[in-house]
Amino acid sequence: MTSHPQIAILGGTGKEGSGLALRWARAGFPILIGSRDPERARHTAERLRAIVPGGELIGLSNAEAAAQGEVVVVTVPYEGHAPILQGLRDLLAHKLIIDVVVPLDPQNPRRYVPPPDGSATAEAQRILGPKTPVVGAFHHISHLHLHNLEETPECDVLVVGDHREAKARVIALAEAIGFTAYDAGPLANAPAVEGLTAVLIGLNIRYKAHGTGIRITGISSKKQS
Ligand SMILES: NC(=O)c1ccc[n+]([C@@H]2O[C@H](COP(=O)([O-])OP(=O)(O)OC[C@H]3O[C@@H](n4cnc5c(N)ncnc54)[C@H](OP(=O)(O)O)[C@@H]3O)[C@@H](O)[C@H]2O)c1
């Protein structure tokens, strides 16, 4: 991977995807905003370019973005998760996939509803096959913090999946936009990582907070054993 790979964001017109796009664009990464409607993607790219002058952002269909991106980030609501991955499976082969999707109860987002595969990340890994590395990440980063570019993010990023080298690349991509990121273990841990998002949403609602997050304590060196 070059130091600045092209990052495609499926559902990049939305709250989370456009927030990640802003942060990476500001850090110098070329961004491909994907949408079901390329016109909407172009609009979003234009809007984000106005916020990050000089940012390399273009709007495309999800398929075009998937085909061109070296790294592909999935930021669609859970209902669109399996369909979009199934539809773009061949285009996504062998790319680095970052899955941000959390399967929440649409009636009550304080509840995590694990899909039959156990997690969205595991579902993506099954659909795309073992040769396409899927890494779950950024589930705990509220779009509110991503969009406020004045803010240095306080929340840590937990990275989960079965491909060690892919996780190291995602940690580097998170660190490039100011996060502290940790390898949170294998794909089997994805339900815990994704599920924590529902806990945070519950805290936001219960305590009238905006964008609660998590911080890992007790680690003095990021050198792994
Ligand atoms: N919002 C957050 O703070 C946050 C934080 C962590 C994780 N997440 C996760 O990130 C994902 C996206 O969240 P979000 O808040 O950004 O959602 P969103 O704004 O509601 O939707 C994101 C984009 O997904 C596309 N989309 C909507 N329904 C779709 C469908 N059925 N099939 C394919 N594409 C569809 C839309 O783009 P087009 O109409 O342009 O195609 C939309 O702009 C969710 O899984 C969420 O759990 C969100």
Q: Ligand 1 centre from 4 Cα, in Å?
A: 25
Give pLDDT tens digits for 103-112.
999 999 999 9
Cβ of 99 less than 6 Å from ligand 1: no
Closest to 100 (Cα-Cα) out of 15, 220, 37: 15
Cβ of 77 less than 6 Å from ligand 1: yes
Report pLDDT for 159: 98
- The closest residue, in CA terms, to atom 29 on ligand 1 is 80
pTM of the predicted protein model: 0.98
What SS3 state is found at 87? helix
Q: Ligand 1 centre from 16 Cα, in Å?
A: 7
Report the atom number in ligand 1 closest to the C-alpha of 84: 33
Give me the residues of the chain with pLDDT under 70, please.
1-2
The yes or no reply on domain 7-206 and CATH 3.40.50.720 is yes
Q: Quote the tokens at residue 206.
A: 């219960």
Give pLDDT tens digits for 161-184.
999 999 999 999 999 999 999 999
Q: Ligand 1 centre from 76 Cα, in Å?
A: 3
- The closest residue, in CA terms, to atom 5 on ligand 1 is 142
Closest to 117 (Cα-Cα) out of 89, 78, 169: 78
Cβ of 71 less than 6 Å from ligand 1: no
Q: Residue 217 contacts by C-beta under 8 Å, 6 or more apart in sequence?
A: none
Q: Quote the tokens at residue 189.
A: 């841990």
Report pLDDT for 1: 46
Cβ of 26 less than 6 Å from ligand 1: no
Ranges of each domain in the chain: 7-206
Report pLDDT for 222: 76
Q: Ligand 1 centre from 106 Cα, in Å?
A: 12
